Amino acid sequence: MKDIFFLILLNVSTLSVVSSQTLTATLRGDGTLKISSHREPLSRPISISNTHNLLPGFPLLFPADPAFKNFRNVTLDDLDNDGSDEVIIGIADQLIVLTADSILWSSPVLGLARFPAAVADLDADGIKEIILLTGFDQDPGQIYVFTADGRLKEGWPVSNDGNWMISSPALADVDGDGDLEIICSDLQGTQGSIYLYHHNGDLVEGNWPVLLPDRPAVTPSAGDLDGDGNIEIVVCTTRDIYALDQNGSLLQGWPYSQTGTRYSFQSPILVDIDHDGDLEIAGAGHGDNPVFYLLDHSGQSTLGWPIPVPGESWTFHTPSIARIDDSPVVITARPIGETPADMLYAWKPDGSRQPGFPVVQPGGHEGITTIADVDGDGFSELLYSSNLLLDGGIGQIHSAELDGSGSPDGFPIQVRGWTFLNGATLGDINGNGMLDLVILSYTEYPGATPDTAFIYAFDLGVPHTPEEYEWPTYKQNNLRNGLVSFDETTSSIRNLHFNDLVIYPNPNHGVLHIENRSEKPLVKYKILDYLGRVLYSGIVSKSSTYHFSNETEGMYFLEFSDPLQGIFQVDRIIYRR
């Protein structure tokens, strides 16, 4: 195990503070926090009471940078494939990898680590890598690539003239060679560049890096915007939104800009929200004209968008995409003060409000919004942070039902310190098959008082079913590329895989494809309606196609059997016109 800096384990309920008050956090343009007090300080001990069980050994405490705190929480990933997730956190000048009961390894890093790491097997060698960016300090910014066991990968770190590397890296196979590339941006005074690196630290051929006229200040996103089979990259500067092809060339119709709107920290999300085969871009902007936006693949606002942020609030919230009644909605949020007001929204693709929203409560929210079934009722809930620090220095993680009916039992969860700009990340860190919720929080003291970061881990008491989590982490997955597919998000709507049978797309828009990739010569299947009536019986040898020509939109069932085993799988499929 490598040397690790400072770590304390203690019971937070025994802590006390000199003063206690209700505070609101906002983010300044330079990335530092502004704290506003709502009433006179009161001296009393901190008292935290939660229904959910805190895992043994938590919270963990680490020294935090006095000026710049962590954004977007932590990374959870099963690095060694042992059935339990490790907690990966870059904080101040350290990268730390934790198990549920020990420090697996740590490494010092140059520059300040602020955003969550990306994790993936970059070069398809069977070993996962951790990719971390640093910046916002006197030391030069770096791009680090570590192997899962803590070794610095050959060719790394890379320093782009020591420029600050802001936000998280994004990972995608941009050049189509089977390996993942690293997409990241830096700051160079009032401008910055977008970089595309191979897994060995070499720049990808083409126009890379691409110099942009203003500061790129979001985690880039990557996906096939127009359905042509090639990956495009979407990135925001403080003034414009750009879409670049795999060579770094600007796509026709871009950049997108709107008078008075600025973009920073609200990373774009890519999703085929209207099921037309290409991608839309969801995001938010602040400035004199703060908006929630939804663009089509050509850089034009879709019908009903942009939507002005209520109260002209500056918001640094990155959207999430949820499904309500099997239809996608865009989840956005804004900051507010201590007085309860609307602060969390769900928008239909046409820009209309989803019934049951907005959520009204104090504080507002600009961290990550995660989505999962946290109470075991079979329906997903929203999890979100708060811009408020309550009496006694208590931060909160809230939850809301997706139908707008209130909050599930056991929420809000209370922790020591601010949850502002962070949130909740979901996984199973002790390998017991139960869902764990991990929270990063921190103190923000003025003057010479040292700041502390806290890592909390709670057992939610429901089964850990990662294939059903709609949004467990920042930008939905550890690639951080912002590409969201409803075909693979949960078991309720996805492409289906049965014993080397592949059924796609699901949902479909009239044509369902079935491919037999096994050695079985023949497989029987049936299409049934929701009443169980058989609409079609067929046999697939290598491939088969079913056309929903006369059926109405809705849910259907697919039943498979073979001559020897009988029925071996039944699952649901969705048809939309």
Rounded to the nearest integer, the mean pLDDT of the chain is 87
pLDDT tens-digit series, residues 241-299 = 999 999 999 999 999 999 999 999 999 999 999 888 899 999 999 999 999 999 999 99
pLDDT of residue 40: 44
pLDDT greater than 50 at residue 490: no
Q: How confident is the model at residue 500 (pLDDT cuts 50, 70, 90)?
A: low
**What is the average per-residue pLDDT within 464-476?**
89
Query: How many Cα neighbours within 13 Å face the side chain of 253?
Result: 11
Pairing of strands 388-389, 23-27: antiparallel
Mean pLDDT over 130-142 rounds to 90
Q: How confident is the model at residue 43 (pLDDT cuts 50, 70, 90)?
A: very low
Confidence label for 328 from pLDDT (cuts 50, 70 and 90): very high
Nearest to 59 by CA among 443, 418, 419, 456: 456
Q: Does the structure show a pLDDT above 80 at 576?
A: no
User: Which tens digits make up the pLDDT trace of 416-457?
Assistant: 999 999 999 999 999 999 999 999 999 999 877 899 999 999
Instruction: Spell out a b/e string for 261-298, using b for 16 or more CB atoms within 10 Å of the CB, else e.
Output: bbbbbbbbbbbbbbbeebbbbbbbbbbeebbbbbbbbe
Q: Taking a C-beta distance cutoff of 8 angstroms, is the pair 225, 254 a contact?
A: no
pLDDT attached to residue 17: 37
Question: Which pLDDT does position 112 carry in this prediction?
Answer: 93
Mean pLDDT lowest among 88-102, 328-342, 399-413, 527-541:
527-541
Beta bridge partners of 484: 271
pLDDT higher than threshold 50 for residue 379 = yes
Measure the CA–CA gap between 387 and 358, rounded to whole angstroms: 17
- Residue 199: per-residue pLDDT: 96
Our measurement of the distance from residue 449's CA atom to the centroid of its chain's CA atoms, rounded to an integer in Å, reads 32
Q: What's the average model confidence in pLDDT over 2-22?
A: 42
pLDDT value of position 235 = 98
Give the residue-averaged pLDDT of 326-355.
95
Q: Note whether 76 and 425 are within 8 A (CB).
A: yes
DSSP string of 320-361, one letter each residue: EEEEETTEEEEEEE-B--SS-EEEEEEE-TTSPBPTT--EEE
In the numeric block, which tokens belong to residue 425? 């990340």
Interacting residues of 401 by C-beta distance below 8 A, sequence separation 6+: 356, 379, 381, 382, 407, 408
pTM of this prediction? 0.82
Check whether 143 has a pLDDT greater than 90: yes
Query: Mind listing the pLDDT tens digit for each residue in 162-217?
Result: 999 989 999 999 998 889 999 999 999 999 999 999 999 999 999 999 999 999 98
pLDDT at 494: 38
DSSP letter at 446 equals S
Instruction: State the average pLDDT over residues 463-475.
Output: 88
pLDDT in tens, 46-99: 578 899 999 999 999 999 999 899 999 999 999 998 989 999 999 999 999 999
User: Percent of the chain beyond pLDDT 90?
Assistant: 66
